[in-house]
A and B are shown apart, each in its own frame.
Chain A
Amino acid sequence: MVDEATKLSLAKIPLLKTKAGPRDGELWISRLKEEYQALIKYVQNNKEADNDWFRLESNKEGTRWFGKCWYIHELLKYEFDVEFDIPVTYPTTSPEIALPELDGKTAKMYRGGKICLTDHFKPLWARNVPKFGIAHAMALGLGPWLAVEIPDLIQRGVVTHQEKKDSGAAS
């Protein structure tokens, strides 16, 4: 079941209106705008609630998304790259969110570092097409996954804390 905190933050994410995927031309542009609006609102909500936990951006077509997510465990921040493609069947099917750095480190992943979603994610998504978007997938999919898996990975010593990555090196 979805926990109360997730439910609460989910309820505050605006819903989307346009049922369109990347093959739908102008309609996809409308959808993409809605995606960004919902994501911006969600990140703002998270900041206000002192629970800022990810950043995302996309290519200009909005078909490929990438960014960072982080998780605080015992006052230490663990940061991971996030990436996913928008499938041609979106939004009927949800995006498959991946954390490529963790590929092969946990059984709760499919190949390529795609996170394994809980049994209720897919039904919930299916019942909410086209109202749910990327922000909802993050809140319902990746958020709870990190909360369960990262402490476990840390405990098993598979993930260790690193000093902040040299942000100047990448561009």
Chain B
Amino acid sequence: MASPTVAELQQTIEKLREELKNEKQKIEEIKGTTKRTRITQMSSEVVDSNPYSRLMALKRMGIVDDYEKIRDFSIAVVGVGGVGSVTAEMLTRCGIGKLLLFDYDKVELANMNRLFYQPHQAGLSKVEAAEKTLREINPDVEFEVYNYNITTMDNFNHFMDRIRLGGKVKDTPVDLVLSCVDNFEARMAINTACNELGQSWFESGVSENAVSGHIQFVIPGDTSCFACAPPLVVATQTDEKTLKREGVCAASLPTTMAVVAGFLVQNVLKYLLHFGQVSYYLGYNALQDFFPTMRMKPNPHCDDTHCLRQQRLFQEREAAKPKQEFTEETEEEVVHDENEWKIELVSETTEDEAKAAEGDKPQLTEGVTVAYTKPAAQAEDSTDFVNATEMSIDDLMSQMKQL
């Protein structure tokens, strides 16, 4: 067959150009009609085009007094993985004023068993991908996103500054911090920051076997902080000994994560918009569909000195309050839900170890236990410790290098 002539090729190019132009135009048209524009005032008008009508209906139904106030609030979501991304989406759809997102991870195809992210976003930083999607859903929300690890020295101070100054009104604190991270180090870093700043925050988590989860509301000085007790575990009656991690670190289910995100945002809304009762601790045992709740006081011997300082400040504030107002509600330390499960210690803790544990173990509701116990402090043989040294850091560093 003869090769096409130059004229024929030019014709083909022209035809393709025309087709491309048409396709581009179509995309623009779709974008134009579906792109939601900014709305300056939330309206309760019930029309198809009002994204807030069903939320504003909460006022008419007498659930919420002043729904529009949601626009005044700023929330920091730390960790936008399985729980945090769904949390951020819910808050965005609710019309929250501002979101600050923190995460150092990238979207991976291995995340696709969870909600929110899509395969085409693989490789993007999670905060970048989340911001883009969320802005499209609701352009009224303000965003600040940070793609870094909050637990390192370089980033921690910046993280604290953003909590202190990231409010809806410039240079005011955020209203809440939500911990949606998946590791102990990051939770402890958030706890440290919030104790220092006196910032209220919610902790949330899903167990590594994906069948339990919890949320916990920490008001520094008033309720137990994350360092007040060893991490809490919702007992699921799975035999811890047979539950071995065969070749994996952690499992995850979109269901458990969405339930926990839903609990979290529900309590955030109740707290911010003053309706219903906020849960201080709400556990989720997915195997038995059991939901233990409780409220824990802070530990007067907490390891975190800022927790102790916040406890003193809280006591002072309480003492300064006028006395007569209400008959002070007797604080329910533990709500005993009806359930048949006994508190059980995890397998690695022996009876003896449990007995040797410190006196200030938290009072827990049934169905919730501590991940481990700490032994009472005991005198150590001083010979086991490093000796005092005259050597400088530099000397030690070079000695190490010469080994």
Contact = CB atoms under 8 A, between A and B. Distances in A.
Interface stretch (B10-18, B94-102, B182-190, B256-264): B182-190
Given A15-B385, A33-B393, A96-B185, A43 B403 contact: yes
B83 to A, nearest CB: 16
A55 interface: yes
B386 interface: yes
- Best-buried of A17, A36, A44, A116 by chain B (most CB within 10 Å): A36
B68 to A, nearest CB: 38
A8 to B, nearest CB: 14
Contacts of B153: 22-23, 61, 63, 85-86, 88
A34 B386 contact: yes
A17 B386 contact: yes
A123 interface: yes
Given A56-B400, A88-B156, A123 B386 contact: no
A53 to B, nearest CB: 12
Contacts of B249: 107-110, 116
Interface string A77-115: 000000001111100110010000000000111110000
B48 interface: no
Contact of B372 (A16, A47, A61, A123): A123
Nearest to B149: A85
Interface in A35-84: 36-41, 43-44, 47, 55-58, 60-63
B403 A36 contact: no
B380 A15 contact: yes
Contacts of B149: 85
Given A37-B386, A123-B349, A126-B230, A88 B152 contact: yes
B403 A44 contact: yes
B148 to A, nearest CB: 12
A35 B349 CA distance: 28
Interface string B130-165: 000000000000000000010111001000000000
Contacts of A122: 184, 371-372
A15 B386 contact: yes
Contacts of B189: 87-89
Nearest to B247: A107
B129 interface: no
A20 interface: no
B72 interface: no
A92 B302 CA distance: 12
Interface in A124-145: 126-127, 129, 131
11 contacts: A36-B396, A40-B396, A40-B403, A43-B400, A85-B152, A88-B152, A107-B249, A116-B245, A127-B372, A127-B374, A131-B385
Interface of B: 105, 108, 149, 151-153, 156, 183-185, 188-189, 192, 227, 230, 245, 247-249, 303, 348-349, 371-372, 374-375, 380, 384-387, 389, 391, 393, 396-397, 399-401, 403
Can you list the 5 inter-chain pairs with the closest CB atoms, starting with the nearest? A123-B372, A36-B396, A116-B249, A87-B151, A89-B188
Given A55-B400, A126-B372, A131-B380, 17 more contacts: A14-B384, A16-B386, A32-B393, A33-B391, A43-B400, A85-B153, A107-B247, A108-B249, A109-B249, A116-B245, A119-B245, A120-B348, A122-B372, A123-B348, A126-B374, A127-B372, A131-B385
